[in-house]
Structure 1
Amino acid sequence: MDSSEQTRNFFLALLENSTDLLSIIDAQGNYQFVGGSVKHILGFTPDELVGKSAFDFIHPEDKENARTFLQKAASTKVLVIPIFRFTNKQGNWRWVETTLTNMVKDAAIQGYVTNTRDVTERVEEEQRKKKSQAHYESLFYNHPDAVFELDREGFMRKINKRMPSITGYTEEEILGSHFRKFVHNDYLPVAMDAFLNALGGIAQHIEIAVLKPTGELVDLNIAIVPVLLEGHIESIQCIANDITLLRKYDTFLKERSEQLNSIMERIPESFYALDTNWRFTYVNSFFTAYTKLTREELLGHSIWELFPNTLGSKFHHNCLKVIKTGLPANFDEQYSEDKDATISYHIFPTGKGVGVHFVDITEKKRELDKLEKLSLVASKTTTCVMLMNSELQIEWVNEAFEKLTQFSLEDCLHKYPWDLLTGPETQARTLTKIQKQISRGKPFRGEILNYKKSGEKVWFNLEITPVHNNLGRMVKFIAIRTDITEKKIKEAELVHVTQDLFQQNHDLQQFSYMVSHNLRAPAANVLGLTEILLVMDKHARMFDETLRKLNQSVATLDQVIRDMNHILTIRDNSYAQNRDYVNITQVCEEVLESLQEKLYYIPHTISADLDEKIEVWSNRAYMYEIFRNLLSNAIKFRKPNEVLKLEIRMKRQKNGVTILVKDNGIGMDVHAVENDIFKLYMKFHKAYEGRGIGLFLVKTYVNALGGSIKVKSEPAIGTTFKIKLKGNAK
């Protein structure tokens, strides 16, 4: 083998075993030569690439950038193309780094020499590092707690966005500052020890307080972790959790626990707690006095061992039942040693065992036995009898009370009478008087409005008598109630009738005055004109004129009489109306339809907010006349040369409906005429025709329906009528 052959083989071996891929491409990117190293780098043989375009193997997203660099290579000797993706024979994308050398003018090359290296592992490692760094930074900066990093001297190197809100300092004030600046003096030793331990590679948790610029203390739980880099402490990272509220809550719980313990010690009744092994975990002082055992003799010891006589008792069975079911138990049990003594138990689950509260009710039971005997006597009477203790809590009621008030004895026991029997209309003054008399130990006698369980009212004549023991101390109260509801109803009816008669008499006087005033003028005219006609020549020129005036006076007299008849008819029928459920919307629409002829030539707008579903228990004819008079007046008393604006609104109320009729007419001075607005034959606008009866009729209709009407008006602004109709609405 000659030397040239050896040299050729030497270079081929270099090309095949090189870690870089050497190739030659033309100006269009087609391979002219591919080195043998392509086999172990990309899996291709040189023949599989020669003659093909390099762009066919470049990732679609990287092609444009590669073409740009190939074009730049035409004017540059050496050009490094940024990393891009190149497919291998298995179809996997590999990251490659390529250097282009322009050797187009070299007669032996006539192209671009590419030196390509597979850098996939390096790129993926960098991506992993970036991802890890991104995760770390996200965790650091977006952590809900305050996160900060200290250098080896203890100065703040990095902080997250939560740090300023916890410390009260700005980011600029924190960064570069030593951590001692923020720690309260009382906690500096703890903080410094933890810092030194972290420099020694020890991670730990501490609880300290930091001082805000405002002087406010913030309690923090801080996790301190040393950061190791190549075996050395590079920095210290800390995560601080605000536990201020938690500490306050712990303090609150401790205070409440102390308060509860203080309360339990002051309760003059026995109380103790047992764990699931039936050992005493808590006893109050009253229980120790009751058992004549010390706390040391009770705590930690089994109740069944200390009190073996309770095994098999009702108390024992109920304790087991409470543990099993998790439900409380209330019961009474007699002492096994003394059949005359009775204890009332209340046993309840505590989560770690049971709590027991008991009261000796021996004396109370004896008194109840006596009461049962007394009740045999009291239960036979039709008068309501109630027995109360010295605190005015009900201990017993008779059957008559249960039947009349609908409250059973079980409903009443241990309740206060006013909690059961009083209602919205019970007079507070009466209750105050009762309590005042009783507090003085004196009896009370008077009338009171009470309520049955159903909410129905019932009037009683009430007598409360205190009962004293031999020492003169009040121990009981006996309350006797006699039903006087029917009597009170009749009294109320009498008062109502009296008020109605007074109002009707007053209205009649006003009506009589107005009618006599309006009858007198036309009647006097008739008499005067008649006398003139008797002496006047029938052929005289004034005879016909006088006769015409006589006719006019008679017509006026007739109109007044018809008005009287119409008004008296309304009043006579006010208690015997033909009522039914009336659809207010339909009535209003009918009135508006009847007024269309008047409205046709008048510029106007009508705004109606009416609920078609609402029906009111009323008189349809009266409602029609109310709307007709109010809307006719709005049309009549409109402002000239201005669009008439009518508003009609209706709203459902608790006890009926409210109707508003509003216009923008000429209005009137309400303060000047407020006492005469709804009077008969009152006219407030002399330039307009009318008899002054419309608003009087509206008021009469509304009163007949049991409603009320109010008016607001301003000159040149308009008038608003507000009608409230009581009664069922559906």
Structure 2
Amino acid sequence: MREKSRDIVQMGNSTINWPKFAQVCLDMVCTLNYNGVYTFINDASLDIIGYRPEEVINKHFTEFIYPADIAKTIAVVEELMSGTKRKDFQNRLVHKDGHVLTVQWSSVWSEEDATMYSMARDISSIVEASYTIERQNQKLNALFESITDALLIVDNNWRITFFNKEAERLLPIDRHLHNGEFLWKVFPEAIGGVSYTHLYKAMNTGNTATFTTYHRGLGKWFKIKAYSSQEGLSIYFDNISEFVETKEELEKLALVASQITQGVVITDANGITEWVNKGFTHLMGFTLEDMVGKKPGVLMQGPKTDQATVGYIRDMLHKQEPFNATLTNYTKDGKEIFIAMGITPIFSEAGKLVRFIGILQDVTDQVHNEQELERLALVASKTKNGVLICDSEWRIQWVNVGFTRLMGYTMAEALGQQPKHLLKSHNTQNTDASPPWENLYKGELVSFKAPNGRKDGTDVWLSVDISPIFNDKGELTSYVVVQTDITDLKNSEMELSKLADDLYRQNSDLQKFTYIVSHNLRSPVSNALGITKLMSQADKNSKAFDISLDYLSQSIQQLDTVLRDMNTILTVRDSAGNLWLEKVDVRDVLDQALASFKEQLDQSNAEVTIKTSERLFARANKAYLYSIFHNLISNSLKYKAEDRPLKISIKCFGNQEKATAISFSDNGSGFDTEKARGHIFKLYKRFHKEQDGRGMGLYLVKSHLDAMGGHIEVTSQIGVGTRFLIYLPPL
């Protein structure tokens, strides 16, 4: 640039720094020398074309122009250098990332500076918007030019006042018969439907109604526009049946196009290839250039291609009907594969065949699996056991006669079903542990025993062996299931197990019964003996005698309660393990148990704290619950600390509608729970050798809770005390 051109220009008393001014400009400001080389460009170049100024300066302007626009841009530059100003020139530049953008230039050539001064603005969005608007206008214009709507006019009372010839042609109406008729009398099938609803809304609101409806009687789709006026409604009908059908066809084609794993080939009416998709090239190896102008069969068929199937394909193409076929084909590199093809003929509006569309899918693995299945089926058909062959999704593909004889289902009934649903046990109370299914994926045989449901509603116990089948690629393709009937053996096992359970339960009940007799009866009997001894020494007319008599009565009542509860225990034992559970007042049973120890608690100066509601209910056996409290209170008294008065705390936690939790704690001598771990609730286990006892109490507590569906937890510390958490089942 010549010396005369300066960065700083004086204007009156102001100074303008033009380079700084250019850098804050959002448009791209630049200069070119006489040879068309950039000598300056501002920072906007980075935002507009992606290049920094230093990447542009000293480069020819054509390096950044879209190739198709270079010639016209050079012509404009030459025009500018002749002295013409241009403010509206547009061309396309190539962004650094490769995309093309449209810019508008304002340029002037300075002969004095031998420099072209230019300013460029990115108008890509404006051009795109204009292009979109133009395309929409073209579509709308084409639509408007092709519309030949039917018109029907009704008054405010729904009387038909006019309809044109197109309406008469499209609709089942006659101008000589239906003018002046009530609209809904002419079209009674529309009452309550889409048209009825929209037209009434337009009439009542004055708003325009536009909707689409299907006329079943005519088998046509109509787009309807209804315009409201003071006189009534003007209703325009447009037959869009072809549009709807075309839309549905396009949706189908879009669905096909979305299946990128499938090959698509389009031929003309003579079977000459016009186009193939990338999926076809991926599948067969042949490119579009390989296929265009040739018949697909010429390139894809080979020595093992079945000629009978080829003949069938030719016949169906000649008939111009859609069809499906599976054929051995060959890829470009000579690999043999099985192809399932669906061929659809495409016709013009005039009904002339214009092309065929073929959808191709590789079914080699499926065919090989079917062949393997046939071989397995041949072997399996000879065995008496039940045999199933399932695919990788556990859908049954084949069953033998032995399966039908064993389970009652024919092959037709079993095909496509999953064994876990079809053969689900009708009574699943007795099942083995879950089989190690993960071993199947390691290629290992899995065996298990389980009851399976027969078609007739009965169960059969089966020994099941499952073998996984893998293809050459190591992919799991199918399962072979062999069933052996072991019902008789399993019934014998269950009968023996039931006998063992009965013996164990009876023995356990006998132990519990013996303990209740020896423990729970002792307290009221001892009380009664003590009271009678006192009464023999007291004056029969004294107050002490009356009090003792009252205590004696209570002890006898307690004795009667225990005897009745013992009778309940005997009944429970005789019911073969079906323990009777009922709604029991926990507080009432607790009070009974505490009353049986009243004398011992008083003599020990024991403090009993109860924090439960007055009416606390649980689902339990009353006799068992009484025995639980009786044993816990007895233990608290027996193992109380010598250096402090006994304190017993009984609390209730939780929502008794869900479950009942009872905390029973004392400040007794305690024991070492770590040392006693695993033995606390075992029979005859004792942790205080210096005290009398037989080690039955806690055993019975846990046994009773187990029988009632509850459980117990314990924490204890030597010299501090013991806490039991009792969980009873919900009501």
Q: Using structure 1 for the length normalisation, give the TM-score.
A: 0.39
- The TM-score normalised by the length of structure 2 is 0.39
> Which structure has the bigger radius of gyration?
1
